[in-house]
């Protein structure tokens, strides 16, 4: 299953990044680089989904996308300087 989740990457003073989601406050992960932090999101999201399932809570509306072999709309922030 595919999920559309807004993410916030926050640089940490000691280095690395923390990733959170305003839509799923239970989703928190980190990494030494932005790429590493984003790679960890999948595991963190799986844990949140499992927790919601165990508690009988539905995920917020419009977070699940049908699996597709076609195009996926992705919004991201890119620094091109």
In the chain (81 residues long), the average pLDDT of successive 10-residue segments reads 89 95 96 94 95 95 78 68 62
| Interatomic CA distance for residues 37 and 53, integer angstroms | 24
pLDDT of residue 31: 96
φ, ψ dihedrals at 26, nearest 5°: -75, -15
pTM for the structure as a whole: 0.82
| Interatomic CA distance for residues 54 and 74, integer angstroms | 29
Domains of the chain plus CATH, in order, are 2-65 (3.30.160.250)
pLDDT of residue 78: 64
């Amino acid at each position: 299953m595919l999920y559309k989740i807004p993410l916030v990457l926050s640089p940490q003073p000691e280095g690395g990044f923390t990733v959170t989601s305003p839509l799923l406050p239970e989703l928190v992960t980190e990494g030494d680089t932005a790429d590493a932090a984003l790679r960890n999101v999948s595991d963190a999201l799986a844990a949140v989904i499992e927790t919601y399932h165990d508690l009988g809570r539905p995920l917020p509306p419009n977070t699940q996308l049908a699996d597709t072999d076609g195009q996926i709309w992705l919004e991201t922030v890119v620094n091109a300087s």
